[in-house]
Structure 1
């Protein structure tokens, strides 16, 4: 048992060491994501750090998870209950934005329904809907809102109450937002109407 603890502490320190050197530069984030893709044993710890807001590398882990998800979204399948049930613990905008993108990827994959699709439980979907509406109506940056709008649009094709709610929010908030928000809102409103 001691050896297992030692090994997991080594994994943690290895990943933490990598995250310590990650900066906001895209190339830098891609390099760390590539390290995780080449060393899948780091993935469990990455997920854990993503949902540990007290960890100094929390936001960096979320950045890396986004890039890893573009390549290996299926790696999240065994972690979905943990992932979705912990969306509400994220408070930092730098963590929420990449996770909102991962949520969008997961929802799109779930409804794609092919052999490489993610399977989301009804509870996962409910947690996703709640988080997406929260991000949409709360004070977060435009990118997070845009991901949430697109995620809710996809979900609204399967839950008939979502599109009318989304339509109300988008129409009400339209005048208060940036050109980027308005562009996404217009695109989705056009699809809904």
Structure 2
């Protein structure tokens, strides 16, 4: 792969300005976005994590561009192992959950919802970094408005885990527990 998109990803860094440059380039046309996603979803690719960093920004700005790739995302999400890819992937799930809940938002299929829910619960109970757990918690809270059984699962998990994590996790847990 010697494309301009590949070169931009390869030269990118974790700095926000660098990630924004890649995400803006990806949003210029469907081919760039498709290549960014192809790299992000290829777990064995050396730039898979970097691609996920920029994909998160694409989804934050133009989530509807991501819709054609939702089924593939649902397939790859449970396979992610690198913490640096898991964090943006769980944040993408949060964007999807919020959009799915809004009028005129993205409508997830039942299978997509259930796959995302199942994997977010797994991320919440596994030994993940705090940011991924917080995004999982927030996404599950939103999805729980449609599937009330989620709250029954969520309450004991976040109550039990709260004291093992950072102040940021504890604050988010308290906030969500108040709402449910």
With normalisation by structure 2, the TM-score equals 0.96
Q: Secondary structure at the match of 2:12?
A: coil
Once the two structures are superposed, the pairs formed by residues 60-139 of structure 1 within 5 Å of their partners are: 60-114=50-104, 117-139=105-127
Listed as ranges, the gaps of 5+ residues in structure 1 are 1-8
Q: In 2, are the aligned partners of 1:32 and 1:64 still within 8 Å (CA)? A: yes
Select 2:155's aligned residue among 155, 167, 186: 167
Q: Secondary structure at the match of 1:38?
A: coil
Larger Rg: 1
Select 2:144's aligned residue among 156, 159, 162: 156
Equivalent-residue separation in structure 1 for 2:98 and 2:8 (angstroms): 30
- The CA deviation at 1:40 is 3.1
Listed as ranges, the gaps of 5+ residues in structure 2 are none
Equivalent-residue separation in structure 1 for 2:60 and 2:146 (angstroms): 24
- The CA deviation at 1:39 is 3.3
| Residue of structure 2 in register with 1:54 after alignment | 44
Q: Does 1:181 align with 2:162?
A: no
Equivalent-residue separation in structure 2 for 1:49 and 1:121 (angstroms): 25
- The CA deviation at 1:107 is 1.1
- The CA deviation at 1:62 is 0.4
| Residue of structure 2 in register with 1:5 after alignment | none
Equivalent-residue separation in structure 2 for 1:185 and 1:38 (angstroms): 38
- The CA deviation at 1:78 is 1.3
The count of corresponding residues between Structure 1 and Structure 2 is 180
Q: Does 1:15 align with 2:5?
A: yes
Equivalent-residue separation in structure 1 for 2:57 and 2:18 (angstroms): 11
- The CA deviation at 1:154 is 0.7
- The CA deviation at 1:85 is 2.0
Tell me how large the CA RMSD over aligned residues is.
1.2
- The CA deviation at 1:16 is 1.6
- The CA deviation at 1:132 is 0.5
Q: In 2, are the aligned partners of 1:51 and 1:89 still within 8 Å (CA)? A: no
